[in-house]
């Protein structure tokens, strides 16, 4: 079960992902990010209520890295729980995808990179 | 202690499979991270089987057997689809995944990193994926 809510704060577009991102539900996250990067440049992903992520979810974030670099789109994930953070860490993807603790940190990082 | 569970090949059932593994192991072990790794590994293998071997056909099913020993867990995931040949599996690099925008390929990488042993065995018409992990924090 996945829930995706979006809102805008200043010029930051925030995608809040709640629940589980697995092989069944990752398509919803994929569609949302795919849609948003066409129109927004500063994207924050709120993971405070993200309970679980599998490789299908990792694959979604990985698949946009190239497009974001080309389009100068910045994306930062924040509020990841230990288990979720660990899944990125196992494959070293925490080195490729920006992730910080709080929304404020995320806004600061998006403006800095 | 042994436990088993059977699921139809629909991706919607992955959440129930994860609950089964998590509840079973929570009765025996304390380490949250080890339990999470077992849940993740089983989820990845089952998702792969459902998608690639069974084309998400809910008329087909996969069977899980969990054998909890004193400081070790062995989980077997059994199905009758096209077997998987680990020897022919070429692990993609992270760069290939980014450049080719492949959304797959990461699952088995995760499983191999977090399990102590991963085997794919073919016996008669059955394929068995056997995952083994030592967990030292029994309850």
Across chain B, where does the E strand assignment appear? 2-8, 61-68, 72-79, 117-123, 126-134
> Chain-wide mean pLDDT for chain A?
95
pLDDT tens for each residue of chain B, 139 residues long = 999 999 999 999 999 999 999 999 999 999 999 999 999 999 999 999 999 888 899 999 999 999 999 889 999 999 997 766 666 777 778 877 777 766 667 899 999 999 999 999 988 889 999 999 998 877 7
Q: Residue B27 maps to which CATH number? A: 3.30.565.10
pLDDT at B103: 60
Domains annotated on chain A, with CATH: 2-107 (3.30.750.24)
Cα–Cα distance for residue pair A54/A60, rounded to 1 Å: 10
ipTM > 0.90 for the complex: yes
CA B18 to chain centre: 10
Closest CA–CA distance from residue B12 to any residue of chain A (Å): 6
Cα–Cα distance for residue pair A14/B52, rounded to 1 Å: 34
pLDDT at A80: 98
Domain count along chain B: 1
**Comparison of pLDDT for A97 and B96, the residue scoring more:** A97
Within 13 A of A39's CA, how many CA atoms are on the CB side? 7
The verdict on a CB contact (< 8 Å) between A96 and B94 is: yes
Q: Are strands B72-79 and B61-68 parallel, antiparallel or unpaired?
A: antiparallel
Contact B118, B131 (CB under 8 A): yes
The verdict on a CB contact (< 8 Å) between A54 and B50 is: no
DSSP state of B71: S
Residue B124's domain comprises 2-134
Q: Would you call B34 an interface residue with chain A, using a CB distance cutoff of 8 Å?
A: no
The verdict on a CB contact (< 8 Å) between A55 and B113 is: no
Facing residue for A54 by CB, picked from B40, B50, B113 = B40
| pLDDT band at residue A113 using 50, 70 and 90 as cut-offs | confident
Cα–Cα distance for residue pair A100/B24, rounded to 1 Å: 33
The verdict on a CB contact (< 8 Å) between B12 and A83 is: no
pLDDT at A111 over 80: yes
pLDDT at B87: 64
DSSP state of B6: E
| Structural domain includes residue B139 | no
């Amino acid at each position: 079960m996945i829930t995706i809510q979006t809102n805008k704060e200043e010029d930051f577009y925030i995608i809040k992902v709640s629940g589980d991102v697995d092989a069944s539900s990752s398509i919803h996250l994929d569609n949302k990010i795919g849609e948003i990067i066409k129109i927004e440049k500063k994207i924050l992903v709120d993971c405070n209520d993200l309970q679980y992520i599998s490789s299908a979810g990792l694959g979604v974030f990985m698949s946009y890295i190239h497009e974001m670099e080309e389009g100068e789109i910045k994306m930062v994930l924040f509020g990841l729980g230990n288990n979720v953070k660990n899944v990125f860490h196992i494959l070293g993807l925490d080195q490729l995808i920006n992730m910080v603790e709080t929304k404020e940190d995320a806004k600061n990082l998006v403006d800095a990179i | 202690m042994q436990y088993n569970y059977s699921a139809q090949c629909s991706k919607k059932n992955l959440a129930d499979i994860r609950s089964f593994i998590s509840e079973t192991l929570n009765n025996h072990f304390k380490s949250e991270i080890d339990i999470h790794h077992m849940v993740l590994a089983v989820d990845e293998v089952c998702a792969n089987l459902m998608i690639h071997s069974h084309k998400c056909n809910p008329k087909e099913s996969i069977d899980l057997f969990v054998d909890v020993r004193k400081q070790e867990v062995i989980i077997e995931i059994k199905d009758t689809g096209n077997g998987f040949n680990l020897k022919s599996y070429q692990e993609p690099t992270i760069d290939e995944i980014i450049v080719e925008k492949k959304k797959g390929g990461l699952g088995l990488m995760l499983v191999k990193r977090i399990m102590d042993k991963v085997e794919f065995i073919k016996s008669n018409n059955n394929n068995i994926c056997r995952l083994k992990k030592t967990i030292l924090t029994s309850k």
